[in-house]
Amino acid sequence: MKLNGTSSNTPHNRNDRDGLEIDRLLIDEMGDDHHTSSIDTPMRPDAFELDDELKVDLIEEHFREIMNILGLDLTDDSLKGSPRRVAKMFVKEVFSGLNPDSKPKATLFDNKFRYNEMLVEKDIIVQTYCEHHFVPIVGKAHVAYISSGKVIGLSKLNRIVDYFAKRPQVQERLTIQIAEELKKVLETEDVAVIIDAKHLCVSTRGVHDINSSTVTSSYGGKFENEATRQELLRYISSTDITI
Protein backbone atom coordinates (compact mmCIF):
# COMPACT_ATOMS: atom_id res chain seq x y z
CA MET A 1 0.00 0.00 0.00
CA LYS A 2 1.42 3.37 -0.96
CA LEU A 3 1.12 6.22 1.52
CA ASN A 4 2.78 9.62 1.07
CA GLY A 5 4.96 8.36 -1.74
CA THR A 6 6.39 5.34 0.10
CA SER A 7 5.53 1.67 -0.12
CA SER A 8 4.76 -0.37 2.98
CA ASN A 9 7.02 -3.06 1.51
CA THR A 10 9.97 -0.75 0.77
CA PRO A 11 13.19 -1.83 2.59
CA HIS A 12 14.36 0.83 5.06
CA ASN A 13 17.60 -0.66 6.41
CA ARG A 14 20.42 -3.04 5.52
CA ASN A 15 18.64 -6.09 6.96
CA ASP A 16 15.58 -5.38 4.82
CA ARG A 17 17.71 -4.93 1.70
CA ASP A 18 19.65 -8.11 2.43
CA GLY A 19 16.37 -9.98 2.91
CA LEU A 20 15.05 -8.66 -0.38
CA GLU A 21 18.23 -9.72 -2.18
CA ILE A 22 17.93 -13.24 -0.70
CA ASP A 23 14.30 -13.39 -1.89
CA ARG A 24 15.40 -12.39 -5.39
CA LEU A 25 18.08 -15.08 -5.44
CA LEU A 26 15.57 -17.71 -4.34
CA ILE A 27 13.09 -16.59 -7.02
CA ASP A 28 15.80 -16.72 -9.69
CA GLU A 29 16.80 -20.20 -8.50
CA MET A 30 13.18 -21.36 -8.57
CA GLY A 31 12.82 -20.12 -12.16
CA ASP A 32 9.65 -21.41 -13.79
CA ASP A 33 9.08 -24.24 -11.30
CA HIS A 34 5.38 -24.57 -10.55
CA HIS A 35 4.68 -23.71 -6.95
CA THR A 36 1.69 -22.90 -4.76
CA SER A 37 1.65 -22.08 -1.07
CA SER A 38 -1.90 -22.86 0.14
CA ILE A 39 -5.49 -23.61 -0.82
CA ASP A 40 -6.50 -20.07 0.12
CA THR A 41 -5.51 -17.17 -2.10
CA PRO A 42 -2.67 -15.39 -0.26
CA MET A 43 -4.14 -12.11 1.02
CA ARG A 44 -2.86 -9.55 3.51
CA PRO A 45 -5.07 -8.78 6.54
CA ASP A 46 -5.44 -5.17 5.34
CA ALA A 47 -6.43 -6.16 1.79
CA PHE A 48 -9.76 -4.32 1.92
CA GLU A 49 -8.81 -1.18 3.81
CA LEU A 50 -8.61 0.74 0.53
CA ASP A 51 -11.76 1.22 -1.52
CA ASP A 52 -11.79 0.24 -5.19
CA GLU A 53 -11.50 3.80 -6.52
CA LEU A 54 -8.38 4.49 -4.48
CA LYS A 55 -6.91 1.17 -5.60
CA VAL A 56 -7.51 2.20 -9.22
CA ASP A 57 -5.80 5.57 -8.63
CA LEU A 58 -2.74 3.97 -6.99
CA ILE A 59 -2.37 1.21 -9.59
CA GLU A 60 -2.68 3.80 -12.35
CA GLU A 61 0.18 5.75 -10.82
CA HIS A 62 2.41 2.70 -10.46
CA PHE A 63 1.65 1.31 -13.91
CA ARG A 64 2.44 4.70 -15.44
CA GLU A 65 5.84 4.44 -13.79
CA ILE A 66 6.34 0.93 -15.21
CA MET A 67 5.58 2.22 -18.70
CA ASN A 68 7.99 5.11 -18.18
CA ILE A 69 10.74 2.73 -17.07
CA LEU A 70 10.15 0.68 -20.23
CA GLY A 71 10.74 3.86 -22.23
CA LEU A 72 7.23 4.24 -23.64
CA ASP A 73 6.01 7.69 -24.68
CA LEU A 74 2.96 8.38 -22.53
CA THR A 75 2.17 11.54 -24.46
CA ASP A 76 1.20 9.37 -27.44
CA ASP A 77 -2.59 9.28 -27.95
CA SER A 78 -2.58 5.47 -28.03
CA LEU A 79 -0.67 5.09 -24.75
CA LYS A 80 -1.64 7.98 -22.50
CA GLY A 81 -4.85 6.29 -21.32
CA SER A 82 -3.25 2.86 -20.77
CA PRO A 83 -2.31 3.25 -17.08
CA ARG A 84 -5.92 4.09 -16.18
CA ARG A 85 -7.34 1.35 -18.39
CA VAL A 86 -5.03 -1.27 -16.86
CA ALA A 87 -5.82 -0.14 -13.32
CA LYS A 88 -9.58 -0.35 -13.88
CA MET A 89 -9.19 -3.73 -15.58
CA PHE A 90 -7.24 -5.12 -12.62
CA VAL A 91 -9.59 -3.90 -9.90
CA LYS A 92 -13.01 -4.06 -11.55
CA GLU A 93 -12.61 -6.97 -13.97
CA VAL A 94 -9.87 -9.58 -14.06
CA PHE A 95 -9.11 -9.51 -10.29
CA SER A 96 -12.58 -8.66 -9.01
CA GLY A 97 -12.78 -12.14 -7.46
CA LEU A 98 -10.38 -10.99 -4.74
CA ASN A 99 -13.24 -9.02 -3.24
CA PRO A 100 -15.62 -11.24 -1.23
CA ASP A 101 -18.45 -8.82 -2.08
CA SER A 102 -18.24 -10.18 -5.64
CA LYS A 103 -19.01 -13.71 -4.51
CA PRO A 104 -22.18 -15.04 -6.20
CA LYS A 105 -25.15 -15.70 -3.96
CA ALA A 106 -26.18 -19.30 -4.46
CA THR A 107 -29.79 -20.28 -3.75
CA LEU A 108 -30.64 -23.93 -3.26
CA PHE A 109 -33.90 -25.51 -4.36
CA ASP A 110 -35.56 -28.72 -3.26
CA ASN A 111 -34.85 -31.60 -5.61
CA LYS A 112 -38.55 -32.13 -6.35
CA PHE A 113 -37.80 -34.29 -9.37
CA ARG A 114 -35.87 -36.64 -7.08
CA TYR A 115 -33.10 -36.72 -9.66
CA ASN A 116 -30.40 -38.81 -7.97
CA GLU A 117 -27.92 -39.20 -10.83
CA MET A 118 -24.97 -36.93 -11.49
CA LEU A 119 -25.50 -33.54 -13.04
CA VAL A 120 -22.66 -32.37 -15.28
CA GLU A 121 -22.04 -28.83 -16.50
CA LYS A 122 -19.19 -29.12 -18.99
CA ASP A 123 -17.13 -26.71 -21.06
CA ILE A 124 -17.45 -23.76 -18.66
CA ILE A 125 -15.05 -21.09 -19.91
CA VAL A 126 -12.14 -20.41 -17.56
CA GLN A 127 -10.22 -17.15 -17.92
CA THR A 128 -7.80 -16.42 -15.11
CA TYR A 129 -4.29 -15.04 -14.58
CA CYS A 130 -1.17 -16.94 -13.56
CA GLU A 131 0.00 -15.49 -10.25
CA HIS A 132 3.65 -16.15 -11.15
CA HIS A 133 3.84 -14.04 -14.32
CA PHE A 134 0.42 -12.29 -14.41
CA VAL A 135 -0.44 -13.54 -17.89
CA PRO A 136 -3.67 -15.37 -18.82
CA ILE A 137 -4.63 -18.98 -18.26
CA VAL A 138 -7.47 -19.92 -20.61
CA GLY A 139 -9.41 -23.15 -20.79
CA LYS A 140 -12.53 -25.03 -19.73
CA ALA A 141 -13.91 -26.39 -16.47
CA HIS A 142 -16.19 -29.40 -16.12
CA VAL A 143 -18.26 -29.47 -12.94
CA ALA A 144 -20.42 -32.32 -11.65
CA TYR A 145 -22.38 -33.11 -8.52
CA ILE A 146 -24.87 -35.64 -7.18
CA SER A 147 -27.74 -34.05 -5.29
CA SER A 148 -28.10 -34.69 -1.56
CA GLY A 149 -31.67 -33.38 -1.73
CA LYS A 150 -30.96 -29.89 -3.00
CA VAL A 151 -30.13 -28.47 -6.44
CA ILE A 152 -28.66 -25.19 -7.64
CA GLY A 153 -29.42 -23.05 -10.69
CA LEU A 154 -27.15 -24.03 -13.58
CA SER A 155 -25.85 -20.50 -14.14
CA LYS A 156 -24.59 -20.39 -10.56
CA LEU A 157 -22.11 -23.14 -11.40
CA ASN A 158 -20.65 -20.90 -14.10
CA ARG A 159 -20.63 -17.91 -11.76
CA ILE A 160 -18.81 -19.78 -9.01
CA VAL A 161 -16.12 -20.88 -11.48
CA ASP A 162 -15.80 -17.32 -12.76
CA TYR A 163 -15.60 -15.82 -9.27
CA PHE A 164 -12.61 -17.91 -8.23
CA ALA A 165 -11.00 -17.46 -11.66
CA LYS A 166 -11.07 -13.67 -11.31
CA ARG A 167 -7.98 -13.46 -9.14
CA PRO A 168 -4.29 -14.31 -9.59
CA GLN A 169 -4.31 -18.09 -9.58
CA VAL A 170 -2.50 -21.39 -9.70
CA GLN A 171 -4.59 -23.96 -11.56
CA GLU A 172 -4.37 -26.55 -8.78
CA ARG A 173 -5.66 -24.03 -6.24
CA LEU A 174 -8.42 -22.84 -8.56
CA THR A 175 -9.65 -26.42 -8.99
CA ILE A 176 -9.76 -27.05 -5.24
CA GLN A 177 -11.36 -23.69 -4.43
CA ILE A 178 -14.22 -24.34 -6.86
CA ALA A 179 -14.72 -27.88 -5.53
CA GLU A 180 -14.71 -26.81 -1.87
CA GLU A 181 -17.15 -23.97 -2.51
CA LEU A 182 -19.55 -26.30 -4.34
CA LYS A 183 -19.38 -28.84 -1.50
CA LYS A 184 -20.29 -26.12 0.97
CA VAL A 185 -23.04 -24.59 -1.16
CA LEU A 186 -24.59 -27.90 -2.25
CA GLU A 187 -24.21 -29.51 1.18
CA THR A 188 -22.63 -32.63 -0.27
CA GLU A 189 -19.20 -34.17 -0.73
CA ASP A 190 -20.30 -35.64 -4.06
CA VAL A 191 -18.63 -33.02 -6.22
CA ALA A 192 -16.12 -33.24 -9.07
CA VAL A 193 -14.20 -30.48 -10.85
CA ILE A 194 -11.88 -30.90 -13.84
CA ILE A 195 -10.02 -28.02 -15.50
CA ASP A 196 -8.16 -28.25 -18.82
CA ALA A 197 -6.32 -25.03 -19.62
CA LYS A 198 -3.49 -23.45 -21.58
CA HIS A 199 -1.01 -21.24 -19.73
CA LEU A 200 0.28 -18.26 -21.67
CA CYS A 201 3.34 -18.19 -19.41
CA VAL A 202 4.22 -21.47 -21.15
CA SER A 203 3.09 -20.63 -24.69
CA THR A 204 4.23 -16.99 -25.03
CA ARG A 205 7.46 -17.04 -23.02
CA GLY A 206 9.92 -19.52 -21.53
CA VAL A 207 9.67 -22.75 -23.54
CA HIS A 208 7.15 -21.22 -26.00
CA ASP A 209 5.11 -24.43 -26.14
CA ILE A 210 1.83 -23.52 -27.85
CA ASN A 211 0.41 -27.06 -27.91
CA SER A 212 0.46 -28.31 -24.33
CA SER A 213 -2.35 -27.89 -21.83
CA THR A 214 -2.63 -28.61 -18.12
CA VAL A 215 -5.35 -30.81 -16.60
CA THR A 216 -6.24 -30.74 -12.90
CA SER A 217 -9.03 -32.49 -11.04
CA SER A 218 -10.75 -32.79 -7.68
CA TYR A 219 -13.00 -35.76 -6.90
CA GLY A 220 -15.07 -35.94 -3.73
CA GLY A 221 -17.52 -38.40 -2.20
CA LYS A 222 -19.05 -40.79 -4.73
CA PHE A 223 -16.74 -39.49 -7.46
CA GLU A 224 -13.85 -41.22 -5.71
CA ASN A 225 -15.44 -44.45 -6.94
CA GLU A 226 -13.74 -45.54 -10.16
CA ALA A 227 -16.99 -46.44 -11.97
CA THR A 228 -18.61 -43.09 -11.13
CA ARG A 229 -15.49 -41.23 -12.20
CA GLN A 230 -15.35 -43.08 -15.50
CA GLU A 231 -19.03 -42.28 -16.13
CA LEU A 232 -18.24 -38.59 -15.63
CA LEU A 233 -15.28 -38.75 -18.00
CA ARG A 234 -17.49 -40.36 -20.67
CA TYR A 235 -19.98 -37.51 -20.39
CA ILE A 236 -17.22 -34.93 -20.69
CA SER A 237 -15.66 -36.56 -23.76
CA SER A 238 -19.02 -37.15 -25.46
CA THR A 239 -19.64 -35.18 -28.66
CA ASP A 240 -22.83 -36.99 -29.66
CA ILE A 241 -25.25 -34.47 -28.14
CA THR A 242 -26.61 -31.93 -30.60
CA ILE A 243 -29.04 -29.06 -30.13
pLDDT, position 28: 61
Instruction: Tell me the C-alpha distance between 167 and 129, whole Å.
Output: 7
The one catalytic residue among 61, 121, 127, 133: 133
Counting as low any pLDDT under 70, the low residues of the chain are 1-37, 239-243
pLDDT, position 218: 98
Question: What is the C-alpha radius of gyration for the chain, rounded to an integer number of angstroms?
Answer: 21
Asked: is 2-102 a CATH 1.10.3720.10 domain? The reply is: no
Assigned CATH for 108-237: 3.30.1130.10
What lies within 8 Å, CB to CB, of 55 at 6+ separation is 87, 91
- Whether 21 sits among the annotated catalytic residues: the reply is no
pLDDT, position 11: 47
pLDDT, position 115: 83
pLDDT, position 5: 40
- Whether 130 sits among the annotated catalytic residues: the reply is yes
The one catalytic residue among 60, 171, 177, 181: 171
- Whether 142 sits among the annotated catalytic residues: the reply is no
Domain ranges of the chain: 2-102, 108-237
The one catalytic residue among 60, 132, 142, 177: 132
Specify the DSSP class assigned to residue 92.
Answer: I
The one catalytic residue among 131, 180, 189, 231: 131
The yes-or-no answer to whether 2-102 and 108-237 have a common fold is no
Instruction: Tell me the C-alpha distance between 147 and 151, whole Å.
Output: 6
Count of beta carbons in the 10 Å neighbourhood of residue 107: 10
pLDDT, position 197: 97
The one catalytic residue among 142, 177, 181, 201: 201
pLDDT, position 19: 60
The one catalytic residue among 60, 177, 181, 199: 199
